[in-house]
Structure 1
Amino acid sequence: MSTVNGREELISRVGRAESAQTLFSTLAAQLRTAVPYDAAVWRATDPDTGMMTSPIVAENIDDRSCAVYWQYELFGEKINLFRDLVRAPVPVAALWESTGGELNRSTLYKGFLAPRGVHDELRAVLRVDGRPHGYVSLFRVAGRPPFSAVERRFIEGLATPIARRLRSYAKQRPEHTTEHLTGTGLLLFGTDGSLISANDEARRHLEEMPEGPTAVVGLGIRIPLWVHNTAMRARAIAEERERGTARIRMRSRTGHWLICHASCLREADGRLGVSAVVIERAPVSEVTPLIVQAYELSERELEVTQRVARGLPTGRIAEELHLSPHTVRDHIKAIFAKLNVSSRGELVGKLFTEYYEPPQQPA
């Protein structure tokens, strides 16, 4: 099978995957024939912050190693960082190629890869429209050739189709349940990353998390890697190693949206202290942008949609956007087609109501 045919077959399989977990499992089962590797980690990411979220699928790598690997990404490594690949013209890079074979230039290689017998890493950002929806790391052990430029280009050709499919899963509606998680969960992590305190609401939220690599276990609680990573990212920001915010949106086992954000606290003398992680139901304002992106609305269509949601008539929308009423009507027609709705009420319901099931009020 040719390289092109192999890539097209993978893209076809990706397009049929019903969930992000299934998509990663499909890639894990099929990709090795085109780009052989010995271990891998597939991660979904929040497209706004670039931070890992659920699901995460690891092949031939243990949970502890997944957590340690990300510590190097945040606190030690300088080469092929995911945050740099997000903005790079080509979002795929191999460590051997990037270092010119001088692997010891990499902190990650010296401290993590080499002790585990890994000889090269190929990593890619799965991005579409400039936004990262996933990261992948492929590893090869010593004794096998480094990843080639042909293999790197093969992965590059897959990155956008995979990202587009990952983005589309935001359209999936949550399960209807009689019980809804409420309250604000709070977790405190010590300076060494260990869990030192958690309230009851946090325990309940964590019980509803999907399966995935566990970063730490403390107080009888399993902390998924994507939750613990918010604490690590908050510390990295406080140490001025990272920029931005430590914030992700994620889904529970039943598909309901949660938000997880963290900050690093300071002691009275100014030293960095514990990291506080908050988990709570995501407000509709946090969920709607993901759903809009999943339906692939253009920037102008989004502007029109926002004004439709405010109840503005066509003439007023035209005035605010400096468009003709005819052009606004054309945009609304295109928006209806993309979302498969036939009225403004249906549009608002599909984007702002169906994906956010409010808690049931007591009788």
Structure 2
Amino acid sequence: MKEAQYWQRKSDQCLKHSKNSFEYRQLMIEALRTHINFDAYCCTLTDVHTLFSVGAVTEQSIEAIHQEIMELEYTTEDVNRYGFLVQSGQNIGRLSDSSSRSFRYREVLMPNGFSDEVRAALIYQGQCYGFLTLFKRAENEQPLFKDQDVMLIKRLMPIMGESLKKFYHYIIEERIPAVEGEQGIVIFDKGLKILSSNTKACELLAILRKYESLAEIQVPKPIQAICAKLLADKYNSNTSLIVPIKDTGYIAIRASLLLTSQQEQQIALLINEASSREMLNFLITAYNLTPREKEVVFEVIKGIPTKEIAYNLDISIYTVQDHLKVIFQKVNVSNRNELVWKIFSRFQLD
């Protein structure tokens, strides 16, 4: 218990001294390094609905192989896949417990000098807000993670998950300037090399790269994730993601597969400021609305009066009014008009 309290205090200190989630994660990794021996790391903030990365703090040697790791996440049934850790409830996995069965270890990690890996899902209140991955190199005096390392990370997981929830659901008031009808478009080959792009796409890609402190030629993690999933699942022809960037706004990314006349795969990426409809589900989750409260909000946005909402949802008028009171409190508004503006109308593109 003492150790959990220590890490809670440490997390609170890191939060206090962090302007954004990147600074928080970097400070927590530095604190963790004083307790666990590791050589490389990657800590990503995730979209709670898709588990796609919306930005990662990554050590440079992992940056070089990150795209390969991401591709294997969706194309192989490997051990300790991030999605499996969350869906199975296992939440944490040490590669050395089953490295002989790992394609990722044999084909990517071992050839690049890595001997072990721990993956942890940063879950809070049943939602995954990020993944922490630590790596060891073969030349390390202790090339494998110890049981006590895994136990320490387990104590840390819900603490970091709660902090990342605050960053992910922080309501950003700023908006990225948008011109009606203008679309940011990028065409990638299946190796994520840019074949063509327009000016707006270049501007938004620059924002994403700055957000992750990437070089101009590097591909942001949200794009790596969404494209890897798209290429792995050929039947899912349209995949989307919203990336919240503090003090900047929300970027919406949508990807689709293309086939050239020679049947070669390419990826068409639309990258724009998030629209009101794209923001709606994101904000409903951010404000922690229940499924029933969500239904009431959808009715209110349509302009449906209380009596008809009660009829449509098969509940009493008084129950609708009670739901509205709670919704107003959660969203910090006082009436229907303010509610509609705060979660819908203000994100309509000019």
TM-score by length of 2: 0.85
1:269-327 Cα shifts (integer Å, max 9, x gaps): 6x442222221222211112122212211112222222233333333222222222232
Q: Kindly state the Cα deviation for residue 249 of structure 1 after the two structures are TM-superposed.
A: 1.1
User: RMSD in angstroms over aligned alpha carbons?
Assistant: 3.0
Q: What secondary structure sits across from 2:104 in the alignment?
A: helix
Task: Please name the residue that 2:253 is paired with.
Answer: 260
Q: Does 1:5 align with 2:5?
A: yes
Q: Take 1:163 and 1:285, find their aligned partners in 2: how far apart are those partners?
A: 27
Task: Tell me if structure 2 keeps the 8 A contact 1:194–1:216.
Answer: no
In the alignment, structure 1 residue 320 sits paired with structure 2 residue 315: no
Q: Does the 8 A contact of 1:51 with 1:247 survive in 2?
A: no
Give the alignment of 1:157-168 within 5 angstroms. Answer: 157-168=155-166
Q: CA deviation at 1:107?
A: 1.6
Structure-2 residue corresponding to 1:306: 298
* Deviation, structure 1 residue 329: 2.2
Structure 1: give runs of 5+ residues left out of the alignment. none
Change (3 A) 1:245 1:34: farther
SS at match of 2:54: strand
Match of 2:52 in 1: 51
**CA deviation after TM superposition for structure 1 residue 264, in Å:** 2.3
Which of 98, 110, 115 in structure 1 is aligned with 2:111?
A: 115
Q: Secondary structure at the match of 2:211?
A: coil
Find out whether 1:249 has 2:242 as its counterpart: yes
The 8 Å contact of residues 41 and 137 in structure 1, kept in 2 or not, is answered as yes
- The corresponding residue for 2:199 is 200
Question: 1 CA distance for matches of 2:185 and 2:241?
Answer: 15
Contact 2:39 2:136 in 1 (8 A): yes
Q: Secondary structure at the match of 2:289?
A: coil
Q: Secondary structure of 1:171's partner?
A: coil
- The CA distance in 1 between the partners of 2:318 and 2:214, in whole Å, is 54
1:186 counterpart residue number: 185
**1:16-55 aligned within 5 A:** 16=16, 17-54=18-55
Moved more, 161-170 or 341-350: 161-170
Q: CA 1:181 to 1:68, structure 2 compared with 1: closer, same or farther past 3 Å? A: farther
State the alpha-carbon separation in 1 of the partners of residues 23 and 6 from structure 2: 19
The one-letter code of the counterpart of 1:21 is F
**Partner residue of 1:289 out of 271, 277, 281:** 281
**Shift of residue 123, structure 1, vs aligned partner:** 0.8
3-state DSSP class of the match of 1:173? coil
- In the alignment, the residues of structure 2 paired with residue 155 and residue 244 of structure 1 have an alpha-carbon distance, to the nearest angstrom, of 37
* Distance change (3 Å), C-alpha of 1:140 and 1:2: farther
Give the one of 121, 128, 135 matched to 1:132.
Answer: 128
Q: 1:136 to 1:187 in 2, by over 3 A?
A: same
> What is the SS of the residue equivalent to 2:326?
helix
What is the percent sequence identity of the aligned residues? 25
| Residue type of the alignment partner of 1:255 | T
The offset of 1:136, in angstroms, is 1.9
2:145 corresponding residue in structure 1: 147
Q: In 2, distance between residues paired with 1:34 and 1:299?
A: 41
State the one-letter code of the partner of 2:248: G
SS of corresponding position for 1:61: helix
Q: Report whether the alignment pairs 1:211 with 2:211.
A: yes
Letter paired with 1:201: K
Q: Using the TM superposition, give the Cα deviation of residue 353 of structure 1 relative to its aligned residue in structure 2, in angstroms.
A: 3.7
The DSSP-based 3-state class of the residue aligned with 2:153 is helix
8 Å CA contact 1:257, 1:282 repeated in 2: yes
Written as runs of structure 1 = structure 2, the 5 A alignment for 1:229-248 is 229-238=225-234, 246-248=239-241
TM-score norm. by structure 1 comes to: 0.82
Shift of 1:119: 2.1
Q: Shift of the alpha carbon at 1:80?
A: 0.9
Task: Give a deviation string over 1:188-225, Cα, whole Å, max 9, x none.
Answer: 222443222222232222233233265982xxxx5323
Separation in 2, partners of 1:298, 1:149 = 38
Match of 1:331 among 323, 327, 336: 323
Q: What residue ranges of structure 2 are gaps of 5+ in the alignment?
A: none
Deviation, 1:57, is: 0.6
